[in-house]
A and B are shown apart, each in its own frame.
Chain A
Amino acid sequence: MLSALKKRAVLLTRIARASVLFRRWTMKDRIIADGYVRIVNHGTLSVDRLSDFRGGSIPSEFIVHPGGQLIFGESSTINYGVSIDCKNRVTFGKRCMLSKMVRIRDNDGATVAPVTIGDDVWIAHGALIEPGVTIGDGAVISAGSVVIQDVPARMMAIGNPARNVPLAVRPKHELERAPGLSKQETDSLRSKA
């Protein structure tokens, strides 16, 4: 009983924190934030429903210059230390997973080109996404990669500079539930997303 109450209290804290952080911008329902997100928004910033901003040692940072559009998709998970710099347009699809310390920018001082990220994309720890990149649905960006060219759907980008390789499929029995989450919670998360 007490642990259920505690979990509810933690969830409400996260929702409240997200409401405060994103109070001035387009916001939908059920967004939770675990840590501090630094937002400098002079353009358009849109955070969609069921998004989850994780906290950690370094705050995330979204910087949108005048005329820029930063649009997150629904059910996204964004970890700590993510840094997004938008002068033109950075768009995310649904169910994106951004790991820690990912850096995405659409301007590098010389070129300004929009970055488009599709649905179900997993960008692993510390990746760098450079201007003008389009990432297809279901793609995976490996840890530490520097992506300078488009990534087709369901391919994996790995390396510096990143090259595209097909995704290796692993056997299903290797999966297990996230630690700390019961089967009920996992199912309810999955059904909502």
Chain B
Amino acid sequence: MTIDQGTVSPFHELAARLKLRRCTSVGQAIRVFGKVDVVDRGIRRIGDRVTLDASTCPIEIKAEPEGEIVVGDDVYIESGVSVWAYSRIVIGSRVRIGAYCQLVDNHFHMPGEDRFMFPKSKPVTVEDDVVIGAHCILLPGAPIGQGCIVHPRAVITRRIPPNSEVRGVPATVTPRAKPAVPSC
């Protein structure tokens, strides 16, 4: 579902900047629909022409005090997406993130270990021109190479080479056949 790219009225631009006021830096011509939870005190940088479409469900951008979230240009983020950064999460340019995705860079628990201790965080990187389907989960240490297509409901725990298609739980990787866009 895409909202038509039109000119951004100054009122909407102001409302968007108000919603993202707690971000460290925000680019030009951003559009924000709905509620965005910007949580905690980390660094959050949003690029130009980013659309945060939270009209159905709030988007959560949480960066711990040592964490950092960097969003590139021309990114489209759909409703219900949750990004939790304890160390570093980088989203490249021209990325499209489907609804209810979860990008997290810490596992929060270790099976069989003390449940009050966290494992170490591992950065999550989404390179340019990636399309991520709905309900995907990107777990720590999952750099996704450029031009990948992540099918809906994939769970990614390891590095994905560029120009691949990713599907399934846990993720299976196949080379991308041709630049076709799946339904998200």
Question: B-contacting residues of A (Cβ < 8 Å)?
Answer: 56-58, 95, 97, 99-101, 120, 122, 125-126, 138, 140, 142-145, 154, 156, 158-160, 167-170, 172, 174-181, 186, 189-190, 193
Contact = CB atoms under 8 A, between A and B. Distances in A.
Given A174-B119, A175-B113, A57 B86 contact: no
Given A58-B57, A125-B104, A179-B65, A158 B116 contact: no
B118 A167 contact: no
A65 to B, nearest CB: 26
Contact of A156 (B60, B80, B111): B111
A21 to B, nearest CB: 20
B115 A175 contact: no
Contacts of B137: 125-126, 143-144
B62 to A, nearest CB: 9
A169 B119 CA distance: 12
Given A125-B137, A143-B155, A144-B155, A175 B112 contact: no
B109 interface: yes
B169 interface: yes
B37 A122 contact: no
Given A125-B104, A143-B155, A97 B118 contact: no
B58 to A, nearest CB: 4
Nearest to A57: B58
B170 A97 contact: no
Given A167-B112, A176-B117, A144 B169 contact: yes
Contacts of A158: 169-170
B116 A178 contact: yes
A83 to B, nearest CB: 13
B135 interface: yes
Given A97-B109, A142-B155, A144-B155, 9 more contacts: A57-B57, A95-B115, A101-B102, A120-B115, A140-B111, A174-B110, A177-B117, A179-B86, A179-B118
Contacts of A138: 111-112
